[in-house]
Structure 1
Amino acid sequence: MSIAIRPLSTPDLDRAAQVLGEAFVDYPWTNWCVAEDDHLQRISSLQRIYLEHMALPYGSAYIDTTGHGVIAFLPPDTPAPSAAVSAEIADLHGDRLDHLMAAEERMSTLPVPDGAWLLATIGTTPQSRGAGLGTALMKHGLTELDRAGHACWLDTSTERNLPLYQRFGFSVVDHITLDGGLSVWRMHRRGA
Structure 2
Amino acid sequence: MIVVSAAAPGDLVAAAGVLAEAFVDDPVTGAVVGGSAHDRLERTRHLFLGLLPSAIAHGTVDVARHVDRPEILGVALWEAPDAATSVLRLAARLPSFWRALGPGGLYRGVSTKIAIDRHRPRQPHWYLQEIGVAAAARGQGVGGALIHARLASVDAQDAAAYLESSSERNRRLYRRHDFVEVAVLDGVVGSPTTMWRASASDRSVGLTCRGARPCRPA
- What residue ranges of structure 1 are gaps of 5+ in the alignment? none
The total of aligned residue pairs comes to 189
Aligned to 1:25: 24
Shift of 1:33: 1.0
Q: What's the counterpart of residue 68 of structure 2?
A: none
CA 1:106–1:63: 2 relative to 1, 3 Å: closer
CA positional deviation for 1:91: 5.1
Larger deviation, residues 55-64 vs 164-173: 55-64
Q: What SS does structure 2 have at the residue aligned with 1:5? A: strand
Change (3 A) 1:90 1:186: farther
- How much has 1:113 moved relative to structure 2? 4.7
2:22 and 2:173 map into 1 onto residues whose CA distance is 16
Cα deviation digits, residues 128-179 of structure 1 (max 9, x gap): 1111111111111111211122211111222332211111111111213436
Q: Which residue of 1 aligns with 2:114?
A: 105
Corresponding residue of 2:101: 93
Q: Secondary structure at the match of 1:67?
A: coil
Residue equivalent to 2:76: 71
> What CA distance in whole angstroms lies between the structure 2 residues aligned with 1:82 and 1:111?
18
| AA matched with 1:61 | V
Q: Which amino acid counterpart does residue 143 of structure 1 have in structure 2?
A: A
Q: State the TM-score, normalized to the length of structure 2.
A: 0.77
SS of 2:16's equivalent? Answer: helix
Alpha-carbon distance between aligned partners in 1 of 2:92 and 2:152, rounded to the nearest angstrom: 34
Percent of aligned pairs sharing the same letter: 30
Residue number in structure 2 paired with 1:57: 57
In structure 2, the partner of 1:162 is: 171
1:176–1:165: structure 2 CA closer, same or farther, 3 Å change rule? Answer: same
Cα separation, partners in 2 of 1:188 and 1:90, compared to 1, 3 Å: farther
In the alignment, the residues of structure 1 paired with residue 117 and residue 6 of structure 2 have an alpha-carbon distance, to the nearest angstrom, of 30
Q: Which moved more, 1:71-80 or 1:6-15?
A: 71-80
Matched, 1:34 2:42: no
Kept in 2, the 8 Å contact 1:59–1:72? The answer is no
Change (3 A) 1:76 1:86: farther
